[in-house]
A and B are shown apart, each in its own frame.
Chain A
């Protein structure tokens, strides 16, 4: 049981005892990533473009507009 004033001591003890045998490695909320990573930027060869099944031509953003919001289409292009 924690007693007032002893909590910091207990935490310190916790760290001494468990630092080397920690089970869970947790991040703080502020340590959460601020950006997604886009693997297309690092591909050795670019991805083959999606094709319009009617024309056989690469499709443009406007072809996807009925299905997805523009922001997500722009992410796909990147």
Chain B
């Protein structure tokens, strides 16, 4: 594709392969809960995203996956919360120590984010071209004409047909899948090194979801961008991501390579999530495996392991008392379970 050469910025420093592009350590995010009281939504979250890697941040509602990703973007304050502890290192710099303005400056050129509802993320009163051009003029300092040319180029990059015409259309003229492409174009226009995608395909039909996943995969191959893919859907993760970070009730409970986590999960919650994915032709007795109970809300996390009251492997006197730490179990793998050595958990089968 002709657009590829313009995506490599000459002034970009070569990436040091030994340090990851994004390094989140002990990230703790709190939200106000009454006067001078704070409730912890994300507690001590650590994970890495290497340059060019695609990492999934997986969890159900209330797990803290979105709060974590917004914290990486420096948007915690805008959502009313605060980063109480921990660091977000991007390219070797701790962003939490930077003045807010500088963190803001990194959004666009350093990292970009797309959301679940693309139609709501676009301004209905401006053409999509104007909106893409706005971001390149602001972040790359291009003039009006060059910015518009860049917008057309970007719409071509995300495989929107008749890009030169469609750049003058308004968001309402685009379908949900096409809007998500426009959002991706807008983010990619400034050559970010990290794309955070928060449930980008959840609101789309399955056939459209497939095309968006293909597009993200192509873009990654072309530009070498790192991807942090926030989702609840392990099926989508398997399509796209090399590594998986599973979150539950504000904590990372498992971290590892996608194939290892899927085939031999080391946390009962991961195993349960994998079992509850419906697949055509899999259920023999026409029942889905369910995890009993529900995710506790922030501030209502039980003592001991946060998952113990839903866990079929929990042992009284151990799991409900001791809070497990995220412990390395093998090279590049970690799990937060006290019984990790005793359990042989079921994953998916390759067939």
A binds B: no
Partner-A contacts on B (CB < 8 A):
none
Partner-B contacts on A (CB < 8 A):
none
